[in-house]
Amino acid sequence: MTEYLAVADGTIAYEVAGSGPLIVLAHGMGDSRAAYRGVVPPLLAAGYRVAAVDLRGCGESSVDWPDWSRTAIAGDLLAVVRHLGGPAVLVGHSVSGGAATIAAAQDPSLITAVVELAPFTRKQSLRLGDLRVRRFRQSLLRLLGAGVFGSVPLWRSYLDMAYPGVKPADWAERLGLIESRLREPGRMKAMQAMGRSAPTDAGARLGAVRCPVLVVMGGLDPDWADPHAEGSAIVDALPSGLGRLEMIEGAGHYPHHQLPDQVASLVLAFLRSDAGRA
């Protein structure tokens, strides 16, 4: 059942289930909380209370917002955690990975651990050698085209690359939901605005994080020429000993939907070990 939380400048939609320690799941741009539907059941079975959130402008959250930065998204996520009686483990994908970093740095008392899935958490720089990687070059062109022209077909073409190999069983249903949402008034403009926000605010807060952090990267993620190098750079920018990188070979930019059981297993193992000892 969808619930709504009024925050400054808009309304955030979310759903929550289970009982126990709180985990909050935040998706990437142009998506919705439905991206986590394969991850939620194993987390519930492990004894967690799980809240899946629609980011500002996405899913069933309101559309018109003055700020699309990761810092603004972090404020929304912290508001949800407070409303649900945190503290919480915060799981963020892509743009929300950066927002989770900021939230953890802003309020260490509310965030006990962070999981970043294929996160955009650092300033991105394009090197000439990156363009020699075919999957990265093709993905970049599709992303730029979708962002500049607000094209749903180009976004769909990007998503096809972001899920390398065999597609999930619910692929057609998932694409249909994403496309129908993006055709709603204001949703594509929200995605475009979010895509224009730089991750520099998140990168600036990596050194201020005080809780354990798990970074999960897909080995075939087309958003980076070298996903392992990007994940390692995030871990290296965190205070010593707080970060850990896990690679999922064969996964793209959406490991939590493409291979949800593997992601859930990594998250639960992390919470039993690194985060459990914190």
- Residue 113: the pLDDT is 97
Thinking of the domain 3-277, which architecture would CATH place it in?
3-Layer(aba) Sandwich (3.40)
pLDDT confidence tier of residue 276, bands split at 50, 70 and 90 = low
> Which positions ≥6 away from 219 have C-beta within 8 Å?
227, 228, 247, 248, 249, 250, 251
**pTM to 2 decimals?**
0.94
Q: How does strand 3-7 pair with strand 10-17?
A: antiparallel
Average pLDDT, the chain: 94
By C-alpha distance, which of 31, 174, 18 is closest to 89? 18
Tokens, residue 63? 């559309």
Q: What percent of the chain has pLDDT over 70?
A: 98
Q: Is 88 in a helix, a strand, or coil?
A: strand
- Model confidence pLDDT, tens digit, residues 61-70: 999 999 999 9
Q: Are 27 and 58 in contact (CB under 8 A)?
A: yes
**Confidence band of 36 (pLDDT split at 50, 70, 90):** very high
pLDDT > 90 in the chain, percent: 88
30: nearest Cα among 167, 144, 165, 187: 187
Determine the pLDDT at residue 260: 97
State mean pLDDT over 115-141: 89
Residue 131 predicted with pLDDT over 90? no
**Banded model confidence at residue 275, pLDDT cuts 50, 70, 90:** low
Is pLDDT at 277 greater than 60 in this prediction? no
